[in-house]
Structure 1
Amino acid sequence: MADERRVEVQKEQKTDRGLVGATFIKYAAYIIIFIGILWFLINYILPMF
């Protein structure tokens, strides 16, 4: 007959601080670039209309 096997899977959460920091810097740069583009549009493009 069929054997029943119980397998426990444990996931270890490893947070690599270097990876977290690099991801934070990347998204912070995206936000700064986005704000810079918005600032440019508001200050230079919109007054033309």
Structure 2
Amino acid sequence: MEEKKNIEVRREEKTDSGLVGATFIKYAAYLIIFFAVLWFLINYVFPMFS
């Protein structure tokens, strides 16, 4: 007679909060740089042409 074994597999998915924080800081820095360049263009470069 053949025995049947019940195998239970558990996976714990961990989110690395340090990685999430680093990614957030990186994209926040990209946004700050983008808006700083945009602000510079609007205040200094565009008025030269008018």
TM-score (norm 1): 0.74
Identity %: 76
| TM-score normalised by length of structure 2 | 0.72
SS in 2 for 1:20: helix
d(CA) in 2 for partners of 1:11 and 1:45? 55
What is the rounded CA distance, in whole Å, between the counterparts of 1:42 and 1:11 in structure 2?
52
Sort the Cα spacing of 1:12 and 1:48 in 2 relative to 1 into closer, same or farther, 3 A. same
- SS of the equivalent of 2:31 reads helix
How well do the aligned residues superpose, as a CA RMSD in angstroms? 1.7
The structure whose Rg is larger is 2
What residue ranges of structure 1 are gaps of 5+ in the alignment? 1-8
Mapped partners of 2:31, 2:41: distance in 1: 15
Long gaps (5+) in structure 2? 1-8
Q: Which runs of 4+ in 1 moved over 6 A?
A: none
Match of 1:25 in 2: 25
